[in-house]
Structure 1
């Protein structure tokens, strides 16, 4: 691939990432949330209670980041954390009633953001996007894991 094409592609991905995160922050602020916290709530809504270390893996973020998010969400009453039965070193995280209600609001906001993001694209393109973006993510992850430079 020549530089001009590579630059256009990389710039488009970078700008989409930055602007999507900024728009996410705008939409989450009225809910009292920060980017990343919605992913934690949605994961718990999908899976139910989960060991915090597994939650970190599921979200693809470092454990200290999940610990910090969990502390803030717990202080706000959206989740509860408790020692895992049979392993006092592990912590189980689960949504509270308030957290479940907030997760439903986040789902509606998430749908609106997705609609906003793909406005003007043909339905067939929209249907292909998750697979295409997943492939791009997998390509970057594979190189990162191998340490290719």
Structure 2
């Protein structure tokens, strides 16, 4: 049985895909945020931890680029995570102005809880989809993301 379609405001006229993406992102982010709260993390911090779990000892600039968040958000998140004992930040040997981020044992211990959170989120997300539908969704989502990114990088954000 297909899921009911929510009321779509009349001002969406011609923007049904974009409105559906907004609704999906909101639902997904809300569910993820609830699971992150249970791990004493704020949304976005798991992305930073995942990057560091794959390659510890990155600079703040490298982390900023890899997660696609703005500088102030990353700085604030790293500060909170340092205060929570998940990581340390130290000046780089080659340039004392550059901060290098390292996980602590507590930060490294987040690998399994974060992996479990993503697995739970994935299972909930694809619960009512066939394997083919899930694969098609992933392809379509990346196609849309690429189309938007290409438009933004070309400097044509507005029509």
Q: What TM-score, normalized by structure 2, do the two folds share?
A: 0.85
Note if 1:142 corresponds to 2:150: yes
Shift of 1:146: 1.9
Corresponding residue of 1:116: 124
Distance 1:50 1:130 in 2: 28
Once the two structures are superposed, residues 69-106 of structure 1 have per-residue CA deviations (whole angstroms, 9 ceiling, x without a partner) of 00000000001111112111111112111001123211
Looking at secondary structure, tell me which structure has more helix per residue.
Answer: 1
Note the residue ranges of structure 2 that are not aligned, 5 or more in a row.
Answer: 1-10
Note if 1:69 corresponds to 2:77: yes
Note if 1:45 corresponds to 2:53: yes
Note the residue ranges of structure 1 that are not aligned, 5 or more in a row.
Answer: none
Distance 2:136 2:101 in 1: 33
Contact conserved, 2:48 with 2:63, CA < 8 A, in 1? yes
Once the two structures are superposed, residues 3-59 of structure 1 have per-residue CA deviations (whole angstroms, 9 ceiling, x without a partner) of 988422111101001111111111111111111111111111122220110100000
Which shows bigger deviation, 83-92 or 69-78?
Answer: 83-92
Note if 1:11 corresponds to 2:37: no
Contact conserved, 1:78 with 1:99, CA < 8 A, in 2? yes
Distance 2:56 2:143 in 1: 27
Bigger radius of gyration among the two: 2
Q: Describe the SS at the equivalent of 2:43.
A: coil
Q: RMSD between aligned alpha carbons?
A: 1.7
Residues 15, 124 of structure 1: alpha-carbon distance in 2 compared, 3 angstrom cutoff: same
**Counterparts of residues 22-37 of structure 1 (less than 5 Å):** 22-37=30-45
Number of residues paired by the alignment? 147
Contact conserved, 1:38 with 1:103, CA < 8 A, in 2? no
